[in-house]
Structure 1
Amino acid sequence: MPHIELSTGTIDYVDTGGDGPVIVLLHGLMMDSSLWDGPIARLSDGHRCVAPTLPLGAHRRAMPAGADLSLPATARLVAEFLDRLDLQDVTLVGNDTGGALVQLLMAEGAARVGRAVLVSCDAFDNFPPGLTGKTLVLAGRLSPALFGLFMQQMRLRALRRLPIAFGWLTKRGDAATARWLAPVLERPEIRRDTVRLLRAAAADPRFLIAAAERLPLFDRPALVVWAAQDRVMPPEHGRRLAELLPQGRLVEVEDGYTLLPLDRPDELARIIDEFVPVEGLRQV
């Protein structure tokens, strides 16, 4: 897996290469770029898919001790990532807290972003989102060592499937969630990073409300894709986001929870594929 050294630290990323339109895909808290493996398998035929593993709790390269791990800082890290790879006219896609990062970039103008896709994500006052987010942020008050002990419970599938863990986030993705937990369970430096980012998130829980006020300024094509039965990200928020965006459009997806890249990868890839023109042959 390629990696790149940025101002906050070194991150890994997936890059399928090619000359097609660029799609950059962002994951959420306690996840890595493999969230997008299913959609990328379909989208990479015709598109260049780039998926960074951000320092959000499932990363494998620890950040420097003084790095700013707040979500606004992580959004700036994504902007720096786009600059360093010189990616142009990007379709920026985010799911879960990755969608929050996309909103922050949209609110700031995001010059390199030509289109945006928000997939069942944190929005407005829904941060930390649901029982999962609230439990995780509360656990971030613990010391890194105690946080590690708390997270050891997640080795058990029955506990991972609870609503306070991943149970309401995905119907079918337990294997991926178990894999994402490995870094924080096994490496003290990743636990340290995770506690820092959770404490930073707790210190500024209303950042998406301010971002939403600026979303009407994003005058480029925008697609909102929402799980119709989402229990963590209210479907009403998907409708509100689509209404706020001047070129916004909403698509609801059945038979999946928040993590649609895991639950409905082919359907999500089809929706994104139709939204992103290839060689001028398709229109929005």
Structure 2
Amino acid sequence: MNDWRDTRLGEPREVRLPSGTVRYHDRGSGPIIVFAHGYLVNANLWRKVVPALAQDFRCIAPDLPLGSHTVPMRRDADLSPPGIARVLADLLEALDLRDVTLVGNDSGGAYSQLVAVHHPERLGRLVLSSCETPEDTWPPTPGGFGLLKATAANPLTYRALYQVLRVPRTWRWHNTYGWLAKYPIEAEAMNSYVRPVIDRADIRVDGRKAIGAVSERYVQDAAHRLVREAPVPIHFVWAAEDRVFPLDHARRYAADLDAKLHTVADSYTYVSEDQPEATARLIASCATA
């Protein structure tokens, strides 16, 4: 297991929620930004962005139970998309956070859309960053990520799928992280992403439940309601060279939502890994708009 978290994320803490214990990091003061990562990464995804934002904002970066966490959830926890959205909503409530800017990247953006639809009470705005739109499958088709859900049907195939990630050169394959991060991610962070699901059966239980339950219908339903009801202002921060979530999809979705679309040059999906300074500036502008 690798439980390393970058010290730049701030103080490590834990909160007990109805579905289980969630670890999170808390740094800075001021208006609140909560970060939602996607599958098989953790709070370290934001390690380069938080330091630039913490001068003016309170930054909360949880480890969501998506395969790279280190504290397993309750065995009966609902980790379907509505269940993960509930985890995020429960986190906001437990910490008594209000007028929150929720930033979701990759499938974290999909979960964040469900939060905005079903639990908008504590949100001030939503920032969608290179994530599922109504035109994307979940898991996304580009890169072959559909295999992740298919192998989750059986614990043996699920465990076998991830053993290849023991070898660092596989981290740059297009169907692992190569189409998500344009530039290589340092080994310490990568090990924190891949070792929990490789090494721990209890973490694999959570990962299987989460990825096995995803479906594009959740995003499509949420998008329909976001367009119709507009519960919170929405902003887009998108990788200009995204290989997984096409920029054209984001443009059409932003137009439907009457939302402003910002692009991050020289980046793939993980904009906070590839271009952290530009990403931090854009998130700050969205949080104060």
TM-score by length of 1: 0.91
Deviation of 1:244 after TM superposition, in Å, equals: 2.2
Deviation of 1:199 after TM superposition, in Å, equals: 1.9
Q: State whether residues 88 and 112 of structure 1, in contact with CA within 8 Å, keep that contact through their aligned partners in structure 2.
A: yes
Which consecutive aligned stretches of 4+ in structure 1 deviate over 3 angstroms post-superposition?
A: none
Which letter maps to 1:100?
A
Q: Of residues 46, 50, 61 in structure 2, which corresponds to 1:51? A: 61
Partner SS, residue 238 of structure 1: helix
Q: Of residues 118, 124, 131 in structure 2, which corresponds to 1:114? A: 124
Q: Of residues 155, 165, 168 in structure 1, which corresponds to 2:166? A: 155
**1:194-214 Cα deviation digits (max 9, x unpaired):** 12222222xx44111111101
Task: Tell me the distance in 1 between the aligned counterparts of 2:201 and 2:32.
Answer: 35
Task: Tell me the distance in 2 between the aligned counterparts of 1:173 and 1:200.
Answer: 29
Partner SS, residue 38 of structure 1: coil
Partner residue in 1 for 2:7? none
> 1:138-217, aligned counterparts within 5 Å?
138-143=150-155, 145-175=156-186, 176-201=189-214, 204-216=215-227, 217=229
Q: State whether residues 125 and 208 of structure 1, in contact with CA within 8 Å, keep that contact through their aligned partners in structure 2.
A: no
Partner SS, residue 274 of structure 1: helix
**1:167-211 Cα deviation digits (max 9, x unpaired):** 10002243333320010111111112212222222xx44111111
Q: Does 2:272 correspond to 1:257? A: no
Partner residue in 2 for 1:280? none
Query: Structure 1: any 5+ residue segments left out of the alignment?
Result: 278-283
Partner SS, residue 57 of structure 1: coil
TM-score by length of 2: 0.90
Q: Does 2:246 correspond to 1:234? A: yes
Q: Of residues 32, 53, 56 in structure 1, which corresponds to 2:42? A: 32
Q: Does 2:89 correspond to 1:76? A: no
Partner residue in 2 for 1:281? none
Task: Tell me the distance in 2 between the aligned counterparts of 1:169 and 1:23.
Answer: 23
Q: State whether residues 125 and 206 of structure 1, in contact with CA within 8 Å, keep that contact through their aligned partners in structure 2.
A: no
Query: Structure 2: any 5+ residue segments left out of the alignment?
Result: 1-11
Task: Tell me the distance in 1 between the aligned counterparts of 2:250 and 2:151.
Answer: 28
Deviation of 1:17 after TM superposition, in Å, equals: 4.2
Task: Tell me the distance in 1 between the aligned counterparts of 2:97 and 2:54.
Answer: 16
Partner residue in 2 for 1:272? 283
Deviation of 1:136 after TM superposition, in Å, equals: 1.4
Q: State whether residues 39 and 211 of structure 2, in contact with CA within 8 Å, keep that contact through their aligned partners in structure 1.
A: no
Which letter maps to 2:87?
L
How much identity, in percent, do the aligned residues show?
Answer: 38
Task: Tell me the distance in 1 between the aligned counterparts of 2:169 and 2:253.
Answer: 34
Partner SS, residue 73 of structure 2: coil
Deviation of 1:132 after TM superposition, in Å, equals: 4.6
Q: Of residues 237, 260, 267 in structure 2, which corresponds to 1:225? A: 237
Partner SS, residue 50 of structure 1: strand
Q: Does the C-alpha gap of structure 1 residues 83 and 132 become closer, same or farther in structure 2, counting only changes over 3 Å?
A: farther
